[in-house]
Amino acid sequence: MARPPTERSLVPLLENKVCVVSGAAGSIGLATVRLILGEGAKVMMLDLKDEELKRAARDLPDDAIMTKVCDVANAGQVKAAFDATVARWGKLDVIFSNAGNQGSISTLADASEDEFDLTLTIHARGAFLACKYGPPLMKSGGSIIITSSVAGVRGGGGTNTAYVAAKHAQVGIMRSAARALAGRNIRVNTINPGAVDNAFQAGIEQQQSKILGINVTEQLNQTIPLKRHARANEIAGAVLFLASDLSSYVTGQVLMVDGGLMS
CA distance 111 to 109: 6
**CA 162 to centroid of chain Cα atoms:** 18
Is 133 labeled as catalytic in the residue annotation?
no
SS3 109: coil
What is the total residue count of the chain?
Answer: 263
SS3 63: helix
CA distance 123 to 190: 12
Question: Among candidates 191, 125, 97, which has minimal Cα distance to 153?
Answer: 191
Tell me how far apart the 2 most distant CA atoms of the chain are, in Å: 56
Dihedral over alpha carbons 92, 61, 230, 68 (to 10 degrees): -50
Handedness of CA 120, 47, 193, 222 (dihedral sign): negative
> Which secondary-structure segment (H or E) carries 32?
helix 27-38
CA distance 234 to 31: 9
Question: How many Cα neighbours within 13 Å face the side chain of 48?
Answer: 12
- Amino acid letter for position 1: M
SS3 262: coil
| Catalytic position from the list 145, 163, 235, 242 | 163
Residues classed as catalytic: 163
